[in-house]
Amino acid sequence: MSKSTSLRCALAGALLMVASVSQAHTGHGVHGLADGLAHPFMGLDHLLAMVAVGLWSAAVLPAGRRLLGPGTFVAMLPVGALLAWGGMQLPAVESGVALSVVLLGAMLLAGRRMPASLGLAVTGVAALFHGYAHGSELAVGASAAAYAAGFMFASVLLHGAGIAAGAGLLRLPARAGQLAAAVVGGAGMALLAARL
């Protein structure tokens, strides 16, 4: 399969996924642990971002430091949620979440050509936006601690899936990693376009 055909297939797949789930944050109130566990799986933006962090960590970080990417993301999620719960305004949250998926796709494509410290910084900022989006969904009077525990645990599971997939991609030709990057980045661009 040629490079242009692979890219077209990846973008078409990304657009099909986006067509079915363009926005994870509908403004509905979530209440506790079960909602927190489910929320990261319900939106394509969260799903792609968290898996992409795992993929990037497996591809770029040394074996003994692969948990730094997911650890950074999971540590910043509650910071973003606390900003939402504290009434702080974070501008263009939905666009920021979609843009984070684009940037994570670019990080995957750049691979080791991008400094790991920059990748970790992007991961942290992405998590801040994702955490804020999660936090803004909490219903009045609901348990913030239970909800946060749920979305953080679900995020860890998705990161683990990304690390496992990334380890598998390392055993395949480089094109497989480029295709994964194109799918993530293409879906992020489609999500961003839908939110502008």
Whole-number pLDDT of residue 40: 85
Compute CA 137 distance to the chain's CA centroid, rounded to the nearest angstrom.
17
Distance (Å, rounded) from C-alpha 59 to C-alpha 125?
20
Whole-number pLDDT of residue 30: 65
* Of 136, 138, 131, 132, nearest in space to 72 by CA: 131
| Residue 189 counted as domain residue | yes
Whole-number pLDDT of residue 29: 63
Please write the tens of the pLDDT for every residue from 25-70: 444 566 788 888 888 888 899 999 999 999 999 999 998 999 999 9
| Residue 141 counted as domain residue | yes
Record the pTM. 0.83
Segments in the chain below pLDDT 50: 1, 5-27
Domain range enclosing 43: 3-19+30-195
Whole-number pLDDT of residue 111: 92
| Residue 24 counted as domain residue | no
Whole-number pLDDT of residue 32: 80
Distance (Å, rounded) from C-alpha 100 to C-alpha 51?
12
Number of domains in the chain: 1
CB count, 10 Å around CB of 195? Answer: 17
Whole-number pLDDT of residue 42: 85
Whole-number pLDDT of residue 14: 43
| Residue 11 counted as domain residue | yes
| Residue 25 counted as domain residue | no
Whole-number pLDDT of residue 195: 87
